[in-house]
Structure 1
Amino acid sequence: MNDFVNAANGLLWGQILVPLLLIAGVWFTVRLRAIQFRHFGHMFSVMKNSRKSDGHGISSFQALCTSLAARVGTGNLMGVAVAISIGGPGAIFWMWVIALIGMATAFAESTLGQLYKETNRNGDYRGGPAYYMLKGLKSPALALLFSICLFIGYGMIFSAPQANSIAEAFNYSYGVDTMITGVVLTIFAAIIVLGGMKKIARFSEMVVPFMGVAYLLVATFVILMNIGEIPSILLNIFESAFGLREAGGGMIGIAMMQGIKRGLYSNEAGMGSVPHAAAAATPYPPHPASQGYVQMLGVFFDTIVLCTCTAMIILLSGIELGQENFGIALTQQALENQVGSWGRDFIAVAIFFFGFTSMVANYAYAENALPFIKMNNKIGRLVFLAVFLGMIFYGSIATLGEVINLADLAMALMTIVNVVAIGLLTKQLVILAKDYNSHIDKGDVPRFIASKEQEQEMNLTPNIWSKENTELK
């Protein structure tokens, strides 16, 4: 199985996914006229009224926190360490690159997720890639394929690396047996996920901002302690990215591969996961594109801010890089070198909250696959819950290499299907972006009201974007 997974990853990541992601990022950057750079400040202004909502959806702020709960996890603390260990400091540069161009991809998929949303039997908004594949592309086969990948990835595999990092961190810091940690995580996860999407959103809204700010403050403290070394660290990153350091040109490919792979795992731009959170929101301004701006901000904060914080902690620590120092233990050792023993404990606590919120957000994402794979019934949901919780326990006691390789494979399959779909829906994205910008240019609050002709042409859910449902409040 390991040989098969490694061979599949080599093919998908080495020859298909990395070029596809770069091409998609450049494509959407060009077609949306560099929206992530032109409207960089607007991403923040959209958040001013982000707590507005109604009885059908979560608020934009809750959608951001839910998406960050899934994004901000082991990828930020463990993934960066893995990237640097294998690809060297240059991997950080390529992580930045994929984040900056990936912001346009994130805008595209989140806007489409919001555009093609619908209400479930409880009156709550639901949507995501399977919905815009089914409605926008009129392709049930593609929707089913993505849903299978979503279920395997978020319902089974992606929580395993989170649980693994939490278990390893607590074992390293406190000597807690990984099996005990696995049992505790499984019980806690069951309590949260059984409350549904809104409970997960409220939990994320409380935890993510607090831990994000705390981690940012600690990293800023480390950077200020070593402010004189920052120029040489940045020079090292750029030289390593282009093979100008000791390892020569042979490291360029490794650095690029690790930076893009770990960057995607962290910020999820193009994977098709975040549109589920975006679709669940009642947006303000009441326009599909507003969720695109919200989720672009999520990519920026996740990778450009938090991943860079971890990179600086590691590179400023003086620890010799190599695969003998690997994963979350490297990040713990690095911070411990800088601030003393409490740094190791702080990372253990941070990875617990970041990793745990990621796990419960994974459940919310995977739940969207159930109607498409005919599991949206009592027995299907019980099977889903058992598999999801079982993988959390498995991840706690498995080796890091096993769970990372499986996660990479599931991530690659999901991303390829989703990127192809959003590429085929570029026309709708350009229409929405132009409509949003026309309101901004006039000084108006953007508001999207779909005519009956647009509903039919785009195959939208009837009345979901009616005048009544997009009232300015």
Structure 2
Amino acid sequence: MDTVINAINGVLWNFVLIYGLLGAGLFFTIRLGGIQFVHFREMLRVITAPASKDKRGISPFQALTVSLASRVGTGNLAGVAVALTLGGPGAIFWMWMVALVGMATAYAESSLAQVYKITTKEGRHRGGPAFYISKGLNAPWAGTIFSICLIVSFGLIFVAVQANSIAEAFNGSFGVPKIVVGVVVAVMAGFVIFGGIRSIAKVAQVLVPVMAGAYLLLAVVVMAFNLTEVPQMIWLIISSALGLQEAVGGVTGGVMAAALNGIKRGLFSNEAGMGSAPNIAAVATPVPHHPASQGFVQAFGCFVDTILVSTATALLILLSGVLGTNELTGMQLTQSALEAHVGVAGGYFVAIAILFFAFTSILGNYSYAENALAFLKLNKPMPITILRLGCLAMVAWGSIQSVSTVFNFADAAMGTMAVINLTAILLLSGTVYKLTKDYFTQRNAGADPRFDASKYPELGDGVDRTVWTAEDKIHG
């Protein structure tokens, strides 16, 4: 099985996605006029806007925290350590590049998710790539394939990845058997996910800001005590990526190893272009009442994940001096780095941090899978219950698997999803451009942007106009 998975990953990552991800990000960055840089302030404005009175969806802030719950997890702690081990410090540079151009991709896919969202019979917003693939491209078969990939990868495989990191951390720091950790985490997750997406959103909006804030605060304190070395580490990252300096720790492959591992781990961490975050973006009621506003929210999530949290982990490891001095990788390397900075307590801190990071990722990942059931018309009690039980079983299974096996499965599932989603958003880029132009035309005129579906006759019957009409009445 490992041979087959490795072969699939070889094709996807060496020939398709290593160019496709950066290419799509650059395309949207250029076509949208560097939107993630020029309009960064707009991201902050929409995130801090008062929530809508429309209770059919969740608030933009809840959508942000759920997407961050999925993004901020093992990719930021274990994944960064893996990237440094396999690709050297230069891999972090490529994680930055993927994130910076990926912000434009994240904006595009989440804006499209808002345009094509629906309201279910239960009165809840649902949507995502499967919907804009099916309705925007008139390809329901592709939407079905995407939904199945999403359920398998996020609802099953990725939760196993998160559980694996929790088990590794607690086994290394406290000696708790991995299977015991897996079962306990599965039970904890079960209490939340059986409450549905709204329950997940309520938990995420509390846990995510606290856990991310505490981790970043520790990183800032460590950097303050090593202030003179921080610029050197940043230069090490840049120079290693450009081949201006020998790789640390005997990394082979040079620039290509740095690029390949940085891009792979970067996508796994920030998920831009993968088609995951749009699933929760579609559930939100946007403020202002325009699809583009939710695009800004998710673009900011991409920034927080990689530019802030992943960079914090990279600097903590590089400043510790442990990279290349032992054979540790993944979560154990991150723990070793914190122990070098603050003693034994550092390892305990990482174990607790990954518990919260990975636990919320399990919740966020599951929410995407449940949302995909709506497209398959399986959002009924029995299929949802089966999905929930399957998810929890994978949490227990993932806790006892090897890091390499779990990550290889995750790479294959993620790559397949990304190929389908990137193709769709590139084909629908004209709609994204028109949405963006419309948003800023209204904003520059001093108006609060509103989406008027009648301005988009090319969308035909693909858009559920009643969703937006009903929201207009609530928004006044």
For the superposition of Structure 1 and Structure 2, which TM-score range results when normalised by the shorter chain? over 0.9
Counterpart Cα distance in 2 of 1:453 and 1:309: 43
Deviation at 1:52, TM superposition (A): 3.4
Structure 2 CA distance for partners of 1:339 and 1:458, relative to 1, 3 Å: farther
Structure 2 CA distance for partners of 1:249 and 1:53, relative to 1, 3 Å: farther
Task: Indicate the SS of the match to 2:136.
Answer: coil
Please list, as runs of the form range in 1=range in 2, the aligned pairs for 1:1-400 lying within 5 A after superposition.
Answer: 1-247=1-247, 250-321=253-324, 324-373=327-376, 375-400=378-403
Counterpart Cα distance in 2 of 1:255 and 1:470: 52
Counterpart Cα distance in 2 of 1:366 and 1:311: 30
Q: Is there any run of 5+ residues in structure 2 with no aligned partner, and where?
A: none
Counterpart Cα distance in 2 of 1:50 and 1:2: 49
Counterpart Cα distance in 1 of 2:67 and 2:12: 25
Deviation at 1:361, TM superposition (A): 1.0
Q: Deviations over 1:15-64 (max 9, x none)?
A: 01111111101111111111011101211111221533421110000000
Counterpart Cα distance in 2 of 1:374 and 1:123: 15
Counterpart Cα distance in 2 of 1:7 and 1:327: 23
Counterpart Cα distance in 2 of 1:34 and 1:401: 37
Q: Deviations over 1:105-134 (max 9, x none)?
A: 000000001111111121111100001111
Paired amino acid for 1:421: A
Paired amino acid for 2:266: G
Deviation at 1:245, TM superposition (A): 2.0
Paired amino acid for 2:389: A
Task: Indicate the SS of the match to 1:316.
Answer: helix
Counterpart Cα distance in 2 of 1:234 and 1:166: 29
Deviation at 1:453, TM superposition (A): 6.4
Aligned positions, number: 473
Structure 2 CA distance for partners of 1:246 and 1:452, relative to 1, 3 Å: closer
CA contact (8 A) 2:54 2:471 kept: no
CA contact (8 A) 2:126 2:374 kept: no
CA contact (8 A) 1:153 1:411 kept: yes
Counterpart Cα distance in 2 of 1:83 and 1:386: 32
Structure 2 CA distance for partners of 1:218 and 1:453, relative to 1, 3 Å: closer
Deviation at 1:300, TM superposition (A): 0.4
Q: Deviations over 1:207-234 (max 9, x none)?
A: 0001111011000001101000012111
CA contact (8 A) 2:211 2:357 kept: yes
Paired amino acid for 1:136: G
Moved more, 189-198 or 379-388: 379-388
Structure 2 CA distance for partners of 1:470 and 1:428, relative to 1, 3 Å: farther
Counterpart Cα distance in 2 of 1:379 and 1:41: 44
Deviation at 1:346, TM superposition (A): 1.0
Counterpart Cα distance in 2 of 1:22 and 1:422: 14
Counterpart Cα distance in 2 of 1:456 and 1:326: 49
Deviation at 1:80, TM superposition (A): 0.4
Over aligned residue pairs, what C-alpha RMSD do you find? 1.7
Q: Deviations over 1:374-408 (max 9, x none)?
A: 64344423332222111111110111111000000
Moved more, 444-453 or 87-96: 444-453
Deviation at 1:369, TM superposition (A): 2.3
Counterpart Cα distance in 1 of 2:54 and 2:383: 30
Paired amino acid for 2:288: P
CA contact (8 A) 1:127 1:276 kept: yes
- Structure 1 residue aligned with 2:413: 410
Normalization by structure 1: what TM-score? 0.97
The match for 1:469 among 461, 466, 472 is 472
Counterpart Cα distance in 1 of 2:162 and 2:285: 29
Normalization by structure 2: what TM-score? 0.96
